[in-house]
């Protein structure tokens, strides 16, 4: 369907040509009927000009409506009304421009046919517009979907790079190396956790959404490893009501946010830190709030905090809205709020 990609100027020309054609036809018809060229042309010009404006009106008024059954009735009603208004305007204008009895009689007799012609044309424009809007929307949502798929794939790859983040991976291995001497049991356990975590990160199925329960289990593996690494310094507190655990969210979304909070918290302060994760549901939206301490006086981090850009982009594309991640700073606490709409 080429229409949505046609440049505006060419569409305007095509539109005007369409009405000029009808104008020419009407002029010929009226001359055959017995009117002079002057009368015929004036009538055709006024008639088609008003119809053209009506067509434009219905076209623009439909851009803001999504095609749906309910709107169909509205469009039919609106087109009938427009046609009536057109005929009235044409009559009033023509009566003032051409003033002899034969023509006025003809004008009165042709009201119904003019109305019918106008209505059909307006409906034709409405249907075309409808179709155009429909195709355009479909194309847009297709584009969005494709980009979301592409991004999910990219995220998966960058997850490979980030979560198998060399720094994280090698430090974990170093911890295991230390544990093998002093606490072999714990070393074995940590190898297990690290393996499960890595497997979760590179899971092959590309189902885009998982339950909160699954995501929290994956997160727990990560937290367990980090706790071994940082010992007593790192505390985590997860608050999630059982009823929320079946809600859905994009896979591997939460872990980078928590990782960001941990890095931020651990490297910005020297004391013990507590990372809090609170899940709640607000209407049809799953809210996840991650809080970490930081030092207001010395923190050089600006903006939304590093590491969250990818998460933000992913949410933007998946849900087509830009207000799903918010960060705030207060009382030496940095809060990241994720909002995940739940489809009905």
Partner 1 sequence: MTRVILIDDEPLARSILRTYLKNHADFSVVAECGDGFEGVKAIAQHKPDVIFLDIQMPKINGFELLELLESPPGVIFTTAFDEYAMQAFERHAIDYLLKPFSQERFDKAILKWKSQGTGVTRKTEELLASVSPPEERQRIVVKKGSNLVILPVHTVFYLEAFDDYIKVHTKEGFYLKKKTMAHYEKVLDPKQFVRVHRSYILNLQELTRIEPLTKDSHVALLKSGARIPLSESGFSILKAVLGI
Contacts with partner 1 by CB under 8 A lie at 166-167, 169-171, 173-179, 181-182, 228-231, 233, 266-270, 297-302
Q: How far is the CB of 173 from partner 1 (least distance, A)?
A: 5
Q: How far is the CB of 311 from partner 1 (least distance, A)?
A: 20
- In whole angstroms, give the CA distance from residue 288 to residue 239: 10
Find all residues with CB under 8 Å of 280, minimum gap 6, and list them.
241, 244, 286, 287, 289
Reduced to 3 states (helix: H, G, I; strand: E, B; else coil), residue 67 is: coil
What tokens does 218 get?
């994956």
Smaller CB separation from partner 1, 122 or 261: 261
- In whole angstroms, give the CA distance from residue 41 to residue 202: 74
Please report how the helices 111-163 and 69-97 are oriented relative to each other, as an axis angle in degrees rounded to 10.
Answer: 140
Sign, CA torsion 26/31/37/43:
negative
Smaller CB separation from partner 1, 125 or 234: 234
| Burial class of residue 1 in the structure, from the number of CB atoms within 10 Å of its CB (0-12 exposed, 13-18 middle, 19+ buried) | exposed
Smaller CB separation from partner 1, 35 or 264: 264
Q: What is the DSSP letter of 253?
A: S
CB 263 within 8 A of CB 307: yes
Q: How far is the CB of 228 from partner 1 (least distance, A)?
A: 7
123: part of which helix (H) or strand (E)?
A: helix 111-163
- In whole angstroms, give the CA distance from residue 28 to residue 146: 52
Smaller CB separation from partner 1, 217 or 233: 233
Q: How far is the CB of 167 from partner 1 (least distance, A)?
A: 5
Q: Where are the alpha helices (DSSP H) in 34-64?
A: 37-63
Smaller CB separation from partner 1, 167 or 204: 167
Strand partners, 282: 285
Q: How far is the CB of 156 from partner 1 (least distance, A)?
A: 21
CB 135 within 8 A of CB 80: no
Q: How far is the CB of 263 from partner 1 (least distance, A)?
A: 9
Among 263, 250, 245, 267, residue whose Cα is nearest residue 338: 250
Smaller CB separation from partner 1, 217 or 227: 227
Smaller CB separation from partner 1, 54 or 187: 187
Q: How far is the CB of 335 from partner 1 (least distance, A)?
A: 20
Q: How far is the CB of 146 from partner 1 (least distance, A)?
A: 33
């Amino acid at each position: 369907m080429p229409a949505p990609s046609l440049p505006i100027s060419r569409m305007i020309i095509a539109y005007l040509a369409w009405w000029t054609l009808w104008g020419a036809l009407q002029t010929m018809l009226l001359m055959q009927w017995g009117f002079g060229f002057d009368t015929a042309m004036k009538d055709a010009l006024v008639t088609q000009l008003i119809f053209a404006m009506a067509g434009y009106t219905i076209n623009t008024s439909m851009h803001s409506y999504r095609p749906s059954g309910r709107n169909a009735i509205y469009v039919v009603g609106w087109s009938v009304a427009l046609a009536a208004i057109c005929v009235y305007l044409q009559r009033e204008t023509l009566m003032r421009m051409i003033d002899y009895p034969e023509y006025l009689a003809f004008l009165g007799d042709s009201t119904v046919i003019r109305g019918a012609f106008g209505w059909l044309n307006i409906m034709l424009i409405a249907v075309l517009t409808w179709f155009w809007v429909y195709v355009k929307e479909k194309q847009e949502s297709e584009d969005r979907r494709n980009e979301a798929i592409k991004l999910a794939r990219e995220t998966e790859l960058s997850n490979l790079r980030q979560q198998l983040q060399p720094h994280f991976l090698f430090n974990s291995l170093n911890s295991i190396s230390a544990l093998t001497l002093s606490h072999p049991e714990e070393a074995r356990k940590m190898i297990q956790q690290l393996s499960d975590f890595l497997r979760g990160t590179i899971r092959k199925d590309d189902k885009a959404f998982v339950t909160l329960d699954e995501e929290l289990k994956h997160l727990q593996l990560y937290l367990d490893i980090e706790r071994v690494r940082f010992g007593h310094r790192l505390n985590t507190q997860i608050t999630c009501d059982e009823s929320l655990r079946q809600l859905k969210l994009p896979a591997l979304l939460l872990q980078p946010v928590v990782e960001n909070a941990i890095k931020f918290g651990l490297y910005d302060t020297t004391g013990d830190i507590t990372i809090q994760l609170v899940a709640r549901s607000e209407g049809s939206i799953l809210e996840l709030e991650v809080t970490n301490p930081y030092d207001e006086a010395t923190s050089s981090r600006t903006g939304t905090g590093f590491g969250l850009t990818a998460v933000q982009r992913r949410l933007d594309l998946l849900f087509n809205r830009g207000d799903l991640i918010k960060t705030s700073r207060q009382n030496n606490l940095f809060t990241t709020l994720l909002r995940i709409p739940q489809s009905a």
